[in-house]
Amino acid sequence: MAEETLVLFKNIRNPKYDKSLAGYKRSGGFKSLKKVFGMKPEEVVQEVKESGLRGRGGAGFPTGLKWSFMAKGTGKPSYLIANADESEPGTCKDRELMLKDPHLFLEGLMISSYAIGCHHAYVYVRGEFFPAIKTLNAAVGELYADGLLGTNPLGSGFKLDITIHTGAGAYICGEESALLDSLEGKRGQPRVKPPFPAVSGFNGCPTSVNNVETLACIPFILSDGGAEAFKSFGPQNNSGTHLVSLSGHVNCPGVYELRMDVSMKDIIYDIGGGIRDGKKLKGVIPGGSSSPVMKADEVDVLYNFDDLAKIGTMLGSAAMMVFDEGTDIVKLLHRITRFYAHESCGQCTPCREGTHWSSQIIQDFLRGNGSDEKLKRLYRVGGNMLGTTLCALGDAAAMPIQSFVNKFPEEFRKYYATL
């Protein structure tokens, strides 16, 4: 029987937990920060590298390595930006952390700021998250009042400010360079890379952008023996626990904290309580709406970065969308393509045109105007977005299209085949 492993949700799963600063301290909070102030910043980065932590925002890039790219000796300030723009369809884990245990995430942000020499960190929260924004602002207020933020937290002499910044509604701002443009007060459009943010990020200064859940792992990793313990939770190269946002046609949707050696089958049938209304599973979109779709007979696989990559899909932001046998695949794909058409920033032609075009072709199927020729065209339009755009939105739009057509061709044919 698969069950949760509680590291990030240790407090959240405690019904008596009080999420105020006092409550967080009582739960053992800020011990890691205190310990870290006695270490050299490089040592902190090294610990994070050794823990094997990979970014939880979608790309899975090693966090310690990302920090080690930060340009040094530039004479400019360095910045750490927490990416709380959670907007990949299916993903709702960062909201949980911010709402229910804000100080865990903020301690992680503080330790990480120390590690990369940042004296003013920003939390870029999507604007629609009104309740989370209020919770975070209140929590930051408590930290200033307590002296944990400001000029001399815990007598360390390390000056640190945190500002909660609100976005204003745009999926693309989850992409780190678009997020930086947005934070600067511009339209959020992805930048040409290089230079990477580690060299030229916020206002042209060295910057690291890290996901909320990634940062929330840091206090545990920096606790005594934490890095080793974190590593021991999953298969090699897939360290730690992660938060899985489970949604769709399961009996118990929710956000669950799991090790990375739990199989998708167990997540659907044990954790998620199986498919609702006694129906059969038809498929799963495993890692946010951009990940290639899987069929029911493929779910006997460990839910982690590498095992999913091996079968041609991806873990992404660990957002599992489960759908049952009654689901209309063409309508589902249409909804996904409509999303990307709405969210394309319009900079790159393949994505700006391709997202709309693909959505229109699928619309044709739904109206009874499909054909073999159009199915091929749909696949081609998807392919033309792969790898041809500045940021990953083009790929994100292409992968569902190609995988849906590959795995469920008969569903499209149903719409035009004459008997």
Partner 1 sequence: MFSEDIQAQVDNLLCRYPIKQNALIPILLLVQKENEGWLTEEWMQHVADICEVPLTHIEGVVTFYTMFRLKRPGRYHLQICTCVPCCLVGGTELLEHTEKKLEIQAGHTTDDGVFSIEEMECIGACSYAPAVIVNEDYHEQVTPEEMDKMIKELRQ
| 6: DSSP letter | -
Q: Helices (DSSP H) in 184-304: which residue ranges?
A: 212-221, 226-232, 264-266
CA 179 to chain centre: 14
| Tokens (6 digits) for 317 | 């932001």
Distance set, CA 98 to CA 44, 95, 310, 357 (Å) = 24, 5, 33, 38
Distance set, CA 22 to CA 17, 19, 29, 139, 143 (Å) = 11, 8, 9, 11, 10
Sheet holding 120-125, edge to edge: 161-166, 120-125, 79-84, 207-211
Q: Which of 41, 62, 254, 274 binds partner 1 (CB under 8 A)?
A: 254
Distance from C-alpha of 231 to C-alpha of 238, rounded to nearest angstrom: 8
Distance from C-alpha of 47 to C-alpha of 62, rounded to nearest angstrom: 12
Q: Does 89 contact partner 1 by CB under 8 A?
A: yes
Kindly state the smallest distance separating residue 372's Cβ from partner 1, in Å: 27
Size of the site for partner 1 (CB under 8 A): 53
Q: Which of 184, 224, 325, 372 binds partner 1 (CB under 8 A)?
A: 184
Site for partner 1 in 358-397 (CB under 8 A): none
DSSP reduced 3-state for 24: helix
Q: Does 141 contact partner 1 by CB under 8 A?
A: no
Distance from C-alpha of 333 to C-alpha of 53, rounded to nearest angstrom: 33
Please identify, using beta-carbon distances, which residue of 81 and 375 lies nearer to partner 1.
Answer: 81
Please identify, using beta-carbon distances, which residue of 221 and 268 lies nearer to partner 1.
Answer: 268
Q: Which of 23, 62, 127, 409 binds partner 1 (CB under 8 A)?
A: 127
> Candidates 25-33, 258-266, 308-316, 339-347 — which segment interacts with partner 1 by CB under 8 A?
339-347
Cis peptide before 195 (omega within 30 of 0): yes
Q: Which of 14, 74, 151, 163 binds partner 1 (CB under 8 A)?
A: 163
Distance from C-alpha of 226 to C-alpha of 28, rounded to nearest angstrom: 14
Task: Say how many residues make up the chain.
Answer: 419
Kindly state the smallest distance separating residue 377's Cβ from partner 1, in Å: 23
Kindly state the smallest distance separating residue 269's Cβ from partner 1, in Å: 17
Q: Does 187 contact partner 1 by CB under 8 A?
A: yes
Q: Which of 6, 168, 309, 311 binds partner 1 (CB under 8 A)?
A: 168
Distance from C-alpha of 59 to C-alpha of 119, rounded to nearest angstrom: 26
Q: Does 354 contact partner 1 by CB under 8 A?
A: no
> Candidates 25-33, 61-69, 159-167, 405-413 — which segment interacts with partner 1 by CB under 8 A?
159-167
Compose the 208-247 pattern: x for residues touching partner 1 by CB under 8 A, - for all others.
-------------------------------------xxx
Q: Does 267 contact partner 1 by CB under 8 A?
A: no
Kindly state the smallest distance separating residue 218's Cβ from partner 1, in Å: 22
Distance from C-alpha of 235 to C-alpha of 260, rounded to nearest angstrom: 7
Distance from C-alpha of 358 to C-alpha of 12, rounded to nearest angstrom: 42
Strand pairing category for 241-248 and 79-84? unpaired
Please identify, using beta-carbon distances, which residue of 131 and 150 lies nearer to partner 1.
Answer: 131
Q: Does 335 contact partner 1 by CB under 8 A?
A: yes
Kindly state the smallest distance separating residue 106's Cβ from partner 1, in Å: 16
List residues binding partner 1 (CB under 8 A): 77, 86-92, 94-95, 126-131, 161, 163, 165-171, 182-188, 203, 245-249, 253-255, 285, 289, 319, 321, 323, 327, 332, 335-336, 339, 342-343
